[in-house]
Every structure is written in C-alpha cells, then in structure tokens.
A and B are shown apart, each in its own frame.
Chain A
Amino acid sequence: MRGVSILEIDNLTVGYRGADGWRDAVRDVTLRVAPGERLGVVGESGSGKSTLALATLRFLGAGGAIRAGAVRLRGVDLATLSPGALRAVWARDVRLVPQNPLAALNPSLRVGDQVAEAILQGAEGLLTPAEARRQALDLLRLVRLADPERVARGYPHELSGGMQQRALIAMALHGDPALLILDEPTTSLDVTTEAAILALLAEVTNRSGERATLFISHNLGIVARMCDRAAVLYAGELVETGPTAALFATPLHPYTAGLIDSLPRPGMRHTLRPLRPIPGAIPRLDSLPRGCVFHPRCPLALDRCRAERPPLEAPAPDRQVRCFRWREVERGALAGAGEDGAVPPSEPSSSAAEPVLSLSGVEKVFPLRRSLAERLARRPPRAVRAVDGVDLRLGRGRTLGVVGESGSGKTTLARCVVGLEERTGGAISLVDVPLAPGLEQRAPAVLRRIQMVFQNPQEALNPYLTVGEALRRPLMRLGRLTRAEADRRVARLLDAVKLDPGYAARYPGQLSGGERQRVAIARAFAAEPDLVLLDEAVSALDVSVQAAVLNLLSELRRRHGTTYLFITHDLGVVSYLADDVAVVYLGQVLEEGPVEAVLRPPLHPYTEALLSALPTLPPDPPRAPIALEGEIPAPSAMPSGCRFHTRCPRALGPICAQEEPPWRDAGNGHRIKCHIPLEDLSTMQGSG
C-alpha cells in the first residue's frame, strides 16, 4: 500500500433504525484508499454500497448511524467531529458526485451561482463572490462544458443530463479535495454520454496524483476500466478486494466469479453456452443467513459455510477474500457448477425464413401544441417525428435486437407494433395479416399473437392481484380456457419460468424484482404468442438476476419457437441474445443486419461509438471508448441530411449535413446508412 492512506475505514458497521431494532446495512467493512488511488466498490442493489458512500461522509440521515468502527479522513475520525467541524470537512476535503444530477442541483438557482456558492463555502471567507464566480467559470471550462458562460447563466433544467453531471463534477472539484466519492455517477446517463463522462472522470480524479477516489458502481466493466483496486460488497459485507486486473481475471470469491459469469460479454452467444447466473436473490437485512452471508446462493457451500462466518483471508499481499474455499475457486472449482445441464439451443432458422413481422415505412408523429403567439403568427404546427420511416423484417423464430439510446424512438416503435401507440403512417403486418394501428381495432385472435414484457417489473404487475390471477386472465381471455382449466395451467406456466407453483397465491409485493419479471414473462407467454416484444426487459435487473432471465428467454424461445423483438440500449445483451440487430437513432434505422455482421467492421460510426462504450473485463483487452460530441438532439429539432452528422466523429463534411445518406449493402442482409463507402469504413475501423 502506498504511503499513508487518505481514507481509512475500519470495521465499519452502519445501521438504520427499524421498527424492531437496528438493521445493519454495512457490517464490519475495512478499506483503505491511498493518495492517487481509485478504489471501486462493486455490488448489486441491496449490497450496501450507497450506505457505505454516505457513511464515508457521515451523512446518513435521521434513521441511520455509524454503529461501530471508524471512518478516518486524513487521520481524523469523522464519527467524533462536531457538526460544525464536520461541515468544514465537507466543504474542504471530501466531495460526492451523486447518481441523479437533476435531483442534486437546486432547480431555482443558476448553475454558475451554485458552483460559486460551493467555492465560497470551501474558501472560508478568503474569496469575494466575484472571484468565486470567476473560479466557477474556470471549473466549468475544466469539465469541458462547451459554452461555460451560457451554462453558468442557465438553470439546471435547461441542461441535458450529461451537462448537469459535468456541472456537478465541476462543483466537486473546487479547492482540490482529498477524497472524491462517485456514487454511480453515470448510471442515469446514456451509453455515449457515459463514455464521455467517464473520460472526464478518468482525467480529473487523478489530476494531481494526490487525490483519492471512491467509485461506487454496479457495473463491473466500468470499475475495471476506471479503478486501480476494487472491493466487492455483498449484502453489506466485504467479500473480496484486490487490484482490478487480478480481481476480474482470477476472482477468488464465488460471488465475484458469479457476477463475472453472469455478464454477457462480446463473443458469447446464447446458442453456444448459457450464462451462469447466481441462483436466488440477495437476502433482506431482516433475514440475513447464518454463517457466510452468501451461502444460500453459493454452488460451493459446505455445512461449515452455513454455520460459521469465514474470516477475511489474504491470499496475496494486496488481496483479501472472505471464503473458506477460495483456493478451490482459484483452481476453477466453479467451472462446471451451475450449468444445470442446459442444452445449448440450436441456431434458429436463417434470416431468409418466412417473416413473422414486417414493417414498412412505419411513422409515429406526435404533434406539438402551438402556443397562442405561434397560432396568432400562423406558424405551421410543429411535430416530433419519434419514428420516421422504419422498415424491418423479422423471420420466424429469430430475435431482432433494436438498439438505441433514450430518445431514439425504439420504445415508441415497439408500442406502435403492439398497438399501444397508434402509428401515423406506414404498414405493419403479422405473417400476412395487416395490423390495424390501434389495439381497439385489432381482433382478439391478433391480440393473442403479440405480447409484450415491460421494462419496469415494479409496474408490470397489479399490486392488488395475486400472481395466479395475473396469469389466469390471459389464459381465459386469449387462450379461451375455462377458469378451472386456466388454474391448472398456471402451475405449468410458473414452472416454465422456474418459479414454484406456490407463487400463484402471492402478491407482487412479496416478490423480488427478478421474480416479478419472470411472472411478467409468464404472463406474456400464457397464450402462446408468435411474437413477444421485450422492452428493456432486463435493464432494471441486477446482473446476476439479468443472466437468469436471459437464459430463461433463450430457453422459452427454443421450446416454443417464439419470435422476439428485443428493445434495448445494451449492446452486450443484444450480442448475446439477438440474431439480427437494428441500430436506431432519432427515429431512423442507421444500420441493420445479422448480429455477427453488424457488430464487426464495417460499422456505422454510431454503432462504432456504441460498441466502443461496451465495458470489457480482464482478460479481454480494454477498448478505447469513442466519446461522442454533445447529446442526442431533441427530436423536435431534427438535424438535416444525415441525422447523426452533428455528433459523428467520422463526418465527411458538408455532404453529411445536406444530403440524406444512401443505404450501402454489405451483403447478407447487412446494410449501413452512411455517406462513407463501406471499404473506407472498414479501413478506418480495422486500423483504429
């Protein structure tokens, strides 16, 4: 360990007061962060990582308290400080960049004033307000905001999410703090914005070589890219620490290994090998297991693990692990575990198969309301072209991944297909039946054939209906079963999504997020549809749970020959599950084709940027992320020519802004909409 640590956390236990005593969200955690070091804290939701971040600031709110142990910042124990002294430490030594930038900024103050205010607080009366405002501008420039003067004059809601996060980073950097705490700083941002913010953070966290950084994240790839060392938290306990390269290349704790195996990575296909999810779910704080906290989900658990809490061992000078069997994990004891003999599904029919779904020129235009002034001035009504002329064909039994960032129109497209949103142009047909725009105009037989799984499992199920009732209804309504028949089928449906039949009597509030999503999937499959739309169906889930749901989707598809339309922002999931990909940007498809062709050069420059932002884990070589300029334009202010030209790092020149690019055919159904000839794209991307 280098020199004296800036942050020392010793045997820290942090609890929240519950109705019947304390619930300890962080237990017995010991960590060190040295000057110039970036420590990543990795964990799923419920792991206690945010509590750890807040405890490091001693900013726990009314119900929370440090119950044991110490947090020392430059040798000073925060637990012993008076409120005044603590505020001085906050103003001077330690900064937090939170997850949700809009919530962290005051909506009624100008951004520049908020940054200046923080500077004034930290300067303890040594600066005049004018000097503070000047320094605020310097900081806004430092975080590479394009027009710092304009940003400083603006209010938070006038900035995009990425710009807000930059302003918060600027605020965190004043006065050279000793410790930066980044709590999921990019989780609420789009992939390309995330890449840009991470590049900025990589730069600012280590500017002086003295600063310590605590980087809290659920994303293993980002921690691997950004941090020197990482600590893995599970259910409030530290299970493993080590240098990121070694930790991710040879994990010693079964949980770390499980997390890594759950992650769909480039080159992995569901047809080759199923993911290895971690069974079960993270325990609740009021029902923590005895012994090792991980044993109920551990494939290697022994009787000893159930009875005794393993000590933190040091397999190497810079590594720690809390597991009795780490030596076996190191030798690869987990390799065969958890495979459960799943047969790799065969590749589906080729892309030439009979199309189940075809879209031609589908459009969805949302008219904007004109203001009175606009009406008086007789301005033409404006409109948002959310989906603008999309043609797609989806062969039977295949999976089409529609990839795009927020604002790309991918969700609107899916909603037009199912009829929740009425398209304003174009045609959609299912096999050879033309689909009416609205749900109400579609025949029940058509409704049965298309179902959808929603993004948010919390809202997908009615909290007042049991799982059994939720599943019975589509069986009766669409499957034309009697109530008694439907009740019998519910058990089979639950079994198909690997839930116990006893779940039929439960309410959604009694299920975990992953279990709810399984029920939602079961509901979609109840009436044996031909086509299932999955709208970000796994993005709200933790990695280990996500892997299990992806495996489930893969298995259901193999068994029923269902066709999937998979809407997502996550190229990793697409490359794992999809057969075909369509990359959408501002309501248009920019590239499409079979997945193995689309994700290899020649790539559309936008696909290239998305792909570069995909995290990699050691031993895979890290990619150089391409940071796109600015943010996705508002669909009401659509760029001319090629929609992507405003942000394209490979833009040719005026032609991109003036002319709509042609479709270039790369063969085998792979098409790219770009002015750059395919050979040139291949050359650039092959060398880059």
Chain B
Amino acid sequence: MALDSVERGIGDRVVTGGAPGAWRGALRAIWGRPTSALGATIVLLFVALALFGPLIAPYRATDQLPGARWLPPSREHFFGTDRLGRDVFSRVVLGTRDIFALAGAGTLVAVTLGTGVGLVTAYRGGWVEELTFRSFDGLLAIPALLLALMLLGTVGPSRQSVLLVIVLVYTPIVARVVRSVVLAVKPRGFIEAARMRGETLGYILGREILPSVLPALTVEAALRFSYAIFLVASLGFLGVGVQPPAPDWGLMVLEARNDVALAPWSLYFPAGAIALLVVGINLLADGLRRALQQ
C-alpha cells in the first residue's frame, strides 16, 4: 500500500512535469552550465559503454592473445595489452558494465532502504528515531573502508559481499539526508491538514513528504553512486572485492601495479577510467544540486 502510493507519487510528477516544472527546468539548467554539461556527457558516455560494451570491445575480457604481452597502445590495441596478453581497452570497456551494475545496485538498495528508514523514523520520532540514528552515528564514525575490510574479512570476498558493504555504508548517510528534510516538512500546515483527514502513514510519507525529499535525494543518490564506484574499485585494488579474472578496474590496477615501469598503460587506463567517471558524476551531481535547489 505504502509502496503503491510512493510509485504513484513519482509517476504523477513525471506526467505533470513535477512542481512547477522544476525537473524539466533542472535538465535545462544542467545543459546550460558548461561544467555540469561536461559531467553529464561523461556519465552518458560511460552509460553507453555499459550498455553496448560487448559490441564495442574487440576482444573478450579473458582472451589471452598468444605472444602479445605488454604491447604498447596501437591501432590494434588502443590501450595496449597487459601481462597476460589481454586487451586493456576491451577490459576497461567491459568492466564498465560490471562496476555500474555493482555500484548501481548497491546505491539503489542503499537509497531505497535509507529513504524508507529516514521517512518512517523521522516522521514517527520518539525513541525509535533516537535509537536508529544514534546507531547510524556509531556506524558512520568508522571509516567506510575500514568497515568494508572488517566485513569482508568476516563474510569473505565476493560480489554479494561488496554489495552488502555498499548498502551498509551508505544507507545511514541517505537516511540522514532524508531525515533532515522530513523534520523540516513535518510541522508544516499541509502535513497537519493530512493528519486531520486521517490519512494513512503511507499516504503522508509517499504523497505529501516524499516529493519534498526528492530533490535532495536525487543529488545524494548521484553522489553515493560516485562514492560506490570508488569503493568497489578500492576493494578490488585491495584484493578483497571482485575476484580475478573479472575485468574490474580496481583489480586491473592491482594486477598492473608491478608492471608500471614496463607497461604503464595497463595501469593508467583503468585508473583513468575510475577518475573520469567519478569526476563526471560529481560534476553532474553538483549541477543537479544547483538546478534543484534554486
């Protein structure tokens, strides 16, 4: 029931163009600002790579070309080859989908969970809210990477564990952002009017409060996504994330780090991809924030 009204809330706003055209205006504002437009372009480029990677990549990620170790970039191999004779360009391109899927799924779950927890506890208030957010504060006091390492040490490295780490680390942050908006909206007349009509919790949260949360939540989700990419890559680099021979960017940096004198390209291109994507998402998030908070 609650979810139903939430979905309807989002559906309606797309049809009607949201609060006085805010979302359409935001898109215009993003393309109007050079830095946000650059960010959006970079992100779109990677989205295209993630979607059409197998069509673009000339080789498979695990293809080891005989006698082709440490080849420098050429027309044959745009980004050169690595120590096992694998095409770096293909691995970077094919790794995009992996990292998008992992970081994206993690972010999606964290945002959904964080929004739900933030909405319900902040609106209800009382000791449940107190307990929830005090434990979140405790969780946030531990550096994300340390928490991730501790967790992966217990459950063992795998995709599922990485996903779990992202969710665990980012849910509290999203919940806090949602909570701050809920606390600002809760005492307003329209919420009290809804209570005076005897509206259900689901309606009040989904239809009356959620639209006010969405602008901040959109920006937060974009930022979380970029941090999640960074986290996945970091864990890969530390060898506790995605396991070989998957074309994970962090893992590729890890594998290439001893060959940096011989074949710097095998390190620079995956590292550059991480940096470019994270910067791109951040520029886009910044543009979103400016556009939606006008």
CA gap between A473 and B196 in the complex, in Å: 12
Q: Is B28 among interface residues, defined by CB-CB distance under 8 A?
A: no
- A454 near B192 with CB under 8 A, answer yes
A492-511: CB near B (< 8 Å → 1, else 0) gives: 00000000000000010110
- B190 near A452 with CB under 8 A, answer no
A202 to chain B, nearest CB (A): 38
- A477 near B199 with CB under 8 A, answer yes
Q: Is A520 among interface residues, defined by CB-CB distance under 8 A?
A: yes
CA gap between A418 and B207 in the complex, in Å: 23
A311 to chain B, nearest CB (A): 39
Pick from B13-21, B219-227, B234-242 the stretch touching chain A: B13-21
Contacts of A474 in B (CB 8 A): 197
- B190 near A509 with CB under 8 A, answer no
**Choice from B20, B189, B199, B208 contacting A459 with Cβ under 8 Å:** B189
A551 to chain B, nearest CB (A): 22
Closest 3 CB pairs of A and B: A464-B211, A460-B189, A454-B189
| Shortest Cβ distance from B13 into A: residue | A464
CA gap between A209 and B212 in the complex, in Å: 55
| Shortest Cβ distance from A447 into B: residue | B198
- A459 near B188 with CB under 8 A, answer yes
| Shortest Cβ distance from B19 into A: residue | A464
Q: Is A165 among interface residues, defined by CB-CB distance under 8 A?
A: no
A461-480: CB near B (< 8 Å → 1, else 0) gives: 11111100010011001100
CA gap between A444 and B198 in the complex, in Å: 7
Knowing A439-B198, A464-B18, A510-B20 touch, does A523 contact B193 (C-beta < 8 A)? yes
- B196 near A460 with CB under 8 A, answer no
Q: Is B195 among interface residues, defined by CB-CB distance under 8 A?
A: yes
**Choice from B20, B193, B194 contacting A509 with Cβ under 8 Å:** B20
CA gap between A439 and B20 in the complex, in Å: 32
Knowing A464-B211, A464-B212, A507-B20 touch, does A478 contact B192 (C-beta < 8 A)? no
Q: Is A588 among interface residues, defined by CB-CB distance under 8 A?
A: no
Contacts of A464 in B (CB 8 A): 13, 18-19, 211-212
- B189 near A456 with CB under 8 A, answer yes
A369 to chain B, nearest CB (A): 14
A404 to chain B, nearest CB (A): 21
Contacts of B193 in A (CB 8 A): 452, 454, 460, 520, 523
Known A450-B196, A461-B190; 19 more pairs at CB < 8 Å: A420-B196, A447-B196, A447-B198, A456-B189, A459-B190, A460-B193, A462-B190, A462-B211, A463-B19, A464-B13, A466-B16, A473-B194, A474-B197, A478-B198, A507-B19, A509-B19, A510-B20, A520-B189, A523-B193
| Shortest Cβ distance from A477 into B: residue | B197
A528-545: CB near B (< 8 Å → 1, else 0) gives: 000000000000000000
CA gap between A68 and B212 in the complex, in Å: 42
CA gap between A464 and B195 in the complex, in Å: 17
The tally of residues in B whose CB lies under 8 Å from a CB in A reads: 20
Q: Is A320 among interface residues, defined by CB-CB distance under 8 A?
A: no
- A473 near B189 with CB under 8 A, answer no
Q: Is A451 among interface residues, defined by CB-CB distance under 8 A?
A: yes
Contacts of B199 in A (CB 8 A): 473, 477
CA gap between A460 and B212 in the complex, in Å: 14
- B195 near A439 with CB under 8 A, answer yes
- Residue of A420, A451, A462, A470 with most partner-chain B CB within 10 A: A462
Contacts of A478 in B (CB 8 A): 197-198
B-side binding surface: helix, strand, loop or mixed? helix
Knowing A507-B20, A509-B19 touch, does A420 contact B195 (C-beta < 8 A)? yes
CA gap between A523 and B189 in the complex, in Å: 12
CA gap between A419 and B99 in the complex, in Å: 52
CA gap between A464 and B20 in the complex, in Å: 8
B195-223: CB near A (< 8 Å → 1, else 0) gives: 11111000000011001100000000000
A440 to chain B, nearest CB (A): 8
Contacts of B16 in A (CB 8 A): 466
CA gap between A507 and B25 in the complex, in Å: 15
CA gap between A454 and B18 in the complex, in Å: 25
Knowing A461-B190, A463-B212, A464-B211 touch, does A452 contact B20 (C-beta < 8 A)? no
A440-456: CB near B (< 8 Å → 1, else 0) gives: 00101001001110101
Contacts of A454 in B (CB 8 A): 189, 192-193
Within 8 A of A (CB), among B241-259: none
A504 to chain B, nearest CB (A): 12
Within 8 A of A (CB), among B1-57: 13, 16, 18-20
Within 8 A of A (CB), among B111-167: none
CA gap between A510 and B208 in the complex, in Å: 18
| Shortest Cβ distance from A523 into B: residue | B193
Contacts of B207 in A (CB 8 A): 465
A456 to chain B, nearest CB (A): 6
B293 to chain A, nearest CB (A): 14
A473 to chain B, nearest CB (A): 7
Contacts of B19 in A (CB 8 A): 463-464, 507, 509
B269 to chain A, nearest CB (A): 43
Contacts of A507 in B (CB 8 A): 19-20
B57 to chain A, nearest CB (A): 44
B243 to chain A, nearest CB (A): 45
Contacts of B20 in A (CB 8 A): 507, 509-510
- A477 near B196 with CB under 8 A, answer no
Contacts of A442 in B (CB 8 A): 198
Contacts of A462 in B (CB 8 A): 190, 208, 211-212
CA gap between A419 and B19 in the complex, in Å: 30
Contacts of A444 in B (CB 8 A): 198
Between-chain CB contacts (< 8 Å), 15 pairs: A418-B196, A419-B196, A439-B195, A439-B196, A452-B193, A459-B190, A460-B190, A460-B193, A462-B190, A462-B212, A463-B19, A465-B207, A477-B197, A520-B189, A523-B193
Contacts of B190 in A (CB 8 A): 459-462, 465, 470
CA gap between A250 and B186 in the complex, in Å: 48
CA gap between A474 and B211 in the complex, in Å: 19
Within 8 A of B (CB), among A58-72: none
Within 8 A of B (CB), among A612-634: none
B219 to chain A, nearest CB (A): 17
Knowing A463-B19, A507-B19 touch, does A420 contact B197 (C-beta < 8 A)? no
CA gap between A87 and B211 in the complex, in Å: 47
CA gap between A439 and B191 in the complex, in Å: 13
- B198 near A452 with CB under 8 A, answer no
Contacts of B197 in A (CB 8 A): 447, 473-474, 477-478
B182 to chain A, nearest CB (A): 14
Contacts of A509 in B (CB 8 A): 19-20
A386-422: CB near B (< 8 Å → 1, else 0) gives: 0000000000000000000000000000000011100
CA gap between A37 and B196 in the complex, in Å: 52
- Residue of A465, A478, A510, A520 with most partner-chain B CB within 10 A: A465
CA gap between A520 and B190 in the complex, in Å: 9
- A420 near B192 with CB under 8 A, answer yes
- Residue of B13, B190, B199, B211 with most partner-chain A CB within 10 A: B190
CA gap between A18 and B13 in the complex, in Å: 29
| Shortest Cβ distance from A509 into B: residue | B20
CA gap between A473 and B194 in the complex, in Å: 9
B109 to chain A, nearest CB (A): 25
Contacts of A456 in B (CB 8 A): 189
A70 to chain B, nearest CB (A): 36
A366 to chain B, nearest CB (A): 15
| Shortest Cβ distance from A529 into B: residue | B196
CA gap between A478 and B196 in the complex, in Å: 10
Contacts of B18 in A (CB 8 A): 464
CA gap between A451 and B190 in the complex, in Å: 12
B19 to chain A, nearest CB (A): 4
B111 to chain A, nearest CB (A): 19
CA gap between A442 and B195 in the complex, in Å: 11
Contacts of A477 in B (CB 8 A): 197-199
CA gap between A451 and B195 in the complex, in Å: 11
| Shortest Cβ distance from A526 into B: residue | B197
CA gap between A418 and B196 in the complex, in Å: 8
- Residue of A463, A466, A470, A523 with most partner-chain B CB within 10 A: A463
